[in-house]
Amino acid sequence: MTSRKDTDAERAALTHLKKAEPRLHAAAQRHRGAILSRVKPKRTNAALFVSLAGSIVSQQLSLKAAASIFARVEETLGGTVTPDAILAVPPARLRRAGLSDSKVRSLRELAEAVTTGELNLLALKRVSPEEALIRLSALYGIGPWTAEMFLIFALGAPDIFSPGDLILVKQMQKHLSLDGASRKELAVHAERWSPYRSYVSLLLWKLSHEDN
């Protein structure tokens, strides 16, 4: 269900989009009320940790494969993905759940950073997106794409664009005639969507389903 806050945010984004990117404005009208509903910002450190751990597990995997492996990881950890549970389980057991060595290391370093207080996930809501990306990317295995997805879907940051996301690249090429544009050029183009880059990204992901 779309909240009043979501409705107000969508209305503001559409008003901006009509001027900044009219070619996408009409497409956005077809999906009113169904774009921001994908974002469910997490309100606790525990929920944010599960979300970020899930992002790490899902790297370079299809949604179906990622869900299957994450379910096995949950089972291995006793049903709940927490920093303490990850650090208490031998790495070999996590690998048997379907994780690569690098993902096991990434999860363990994330768990260690949260446990020691080096990283406070909830505090990332109180700093700039740029600072949040820096803090997340300082951890092993968390690159720009993973950090950007976390900001959009877990923190609910409104103005994030991920030039490394293949779906966004393809949709910008299709709808905005940007064939051959580099990631840097796409990022520059997306600046015209600010301060609603997350909304437009969500719209482009939504439009990608129309291709299937």
Regarding whether 82 and 182 lie in a shared domain, the answer is no
Q: What is the pLDDT of residues 58-78, one digit of tens each?
A: 988 888 999 999 999 999 999
Helices (H), the chain: 4-20, 22-29, 45-58, 63-76, 83-88, 91-96, 101-116, 129-137, 144-153, 166-176, 183-190, 197-208
Q: What is the CA radius of gyration of the chain?
A: 18
Full domain range(s) for residue 201: 4-39+160-211
Regarding whether 198 and 138 lie in a shared domain, the answer is no
Regarding whether 173 and 206 lie in a shared domain, the answer is yes
Overall pTM surpassing 0.75 (yes/no):
yes
Regarding whether 149 and 168 lie in a shared domain, the answer is no
What are 186's two structure tokens? 């796409």
Regarding whether 139 and 59 lie in a shared domain, the answer is yes
Number of domains in the chain: 2
Regarding whether 167 and 145 lie in a shared domain, the answer is no
Q: How confident is the model at residue 117 (pLDDT cuts 50, 70, 90)?
A: very high
Regarding whether 121 and 33 lie in a shared domain, the answer is no
Regarding whether 149 and 68 lie in a shared domain, the answer is yes
Regarding whether 50 and 122 lie in a shared domain, the answer is yes
Which of 103, 125, 153 is where one domain is finished?
Answer: 153
Rounded Cα gap, residues 1 and 16, in angstroms: 23
Q: What is the pLDDT of residues 20-30, one digit of tens each?
A: 999 999 889 88
Which of 138, 153, 168 is where one domain is finished?
Answer: 153
| Least confidently predicted of 27-41, 42-56, 169-183, 194-208 | 27-41
Regarding whether 164 and 144 lie in a shared domain, the answer is no
Regarding whether 94 and 180 lie in a shared domain, the answer is no
